[in-house]
Amino acid sequence: MKIAVSGGTGFIGRALVARLLQRGDETLVISRHPERVRTGLGIPWAAADEIAGADVVINMAGENVGGGRWTAERKRRILESRVKATNALVDAMRHAPEKRRTFVSVSAVGFYGPRGDEILDESAPGGSGFLAEVTRQWEGAAHRAEDVARLVVFRFGVVLGRDGGALKQMLPPFRMGIGGPIGSGEQWMSWVDRDDVIAAIEWAIERADVRGTYNITAPEPVRNRDFARALGRALHRPSLLPVPGFVLRLIFGDMADEMLLGGQRVVPARATREGFTFRYPTVDSSLQHIF
């Protein structure tokens, strides 16, 4: 199978490309610097015919939302990087509109906005805030592909893996024994093991009846305080020192309220109903696997 991947050099993308190559798929990694791609075949964004000829196009490109304080310029880059990349892939697929293909486009549970204890499945409406607006426009761009592809939109929670993402940023204080909950610790954290993310993408590739929007989050979201305790157990370290919310607001501004102090209690209702099984359904099982 010929598969084109944008965002193939990132935290999730690296693991995905390695898995696709292991499967024997011809894997194209779409990059602004294709000469730097070391795993898979690097191709430029301008290679529209190559992208159009792929059996599967997987869209994971976008500026890191947790890479720093949300200045006006960073917000612009976060939004534009996602929407422009998605539009570019859809436009490329239109070079061969008759081809049967699958388009897997990544989104995020930020779509729902901070929602307290409300249980959110795929039928829940979008929320408010910067991330909710970003994901609304991001998914809107993906839906332009519905006439040229079988479209699958995956809303990821916090993806856990040892070598990147949020967990890598959390590890230093926890390893030193000074980690703990963020703010009150009451906020919900919808998370997913990276191996389950890769398995879900494979599931979408192989199952022709998978179509539309899915939450790809572990079936058991946890409060932030419980995640901190689980991480402490996995590392055999104490996890009692909270990070005050006002400190985070001083450092990160409104990013703190949306990404760190707010949260969503998201459940993967459609995926589990339609037969996808999470290998790591609990945070303890995931962290034990990772460490």
User: How far apart (Å, rounded) are the C-alpha atoms in residues 259 and 255?
Assistant: 6
Domains in the chain, number: 1
Q: pTM of the entire structure?
A: 0.95
Domain coverage including residue 233: 2-290
Q: Show pLDDT as tens, one digit a residue, over the chain (291 residues).
A: 999 999 999 999 999 999 999 999 999 999 999 999 999 999 999 999 999 999 999 999 999 998 888 999 999 999 999 999 999 999 999 999 999 999 999 999 999 999 999 999 999 999 999 999 999 999 999 999 999 999 999 999 999 999 999 999 899 999 999 999 999 999 999 999 999 999 999 999 999 999 999 999 999 999 999 999 999 999 999 998 999 988 888 888 888 888 888 999 999 999 999 999 999 999 999 999 999
Give the burial class of 181: count Cβ atoms within 10 A of its Cβ; 0-12 exposed, 13-18 middle, 19 or more buried. Answer: buried
Residue 257: the pLDDT is 86
User: How far apart (Å, rounded) are the C-alpha atoms in residues 90 and 185?
Assistant: 40
Q: Between the CA of residue 69 and those of 133, 188, 204, 240, what are the distances in Å? A: 18, 22, 34, 26
Give the domain CATH number at 160: 3.40.50.720
User: How far apart (Å, rounded) are the C-alpha atoms in residues 263 and 187?
Assistant: 5
Q: What sign does the CA torsion over 230, 236, 240, 244 have?
A: negative
The answer to whether 151 and 105 are in contact (CB under 8 A) is yes
Angle at 11 between CA 10 and CA 15, to 5 degrees: 100
The answer to whether 261 and 253 are in contact (CB under 8 A) is no
The residue with tokens 């199952």 is: 207
Nearest to 152 by CA among 194, 205, 110: 205
The answer to whether 111 and 216 are in contact (CB under 8 A) is no
- What is the spatial order of strands in the sheet that 150-156 belongs to? 41-43, 26-30, 2-6, 56-59, 102-108, 150-156, 212-216
Annotate 34-71 with DSSP letters as a single string: GGG--SSEEE-TT-HHHHHT-SEEEE-----TTSS---
User: How far apart (Å, rounded) are the C-alpha atoms in residues 115 and 265?
Assistant: 8
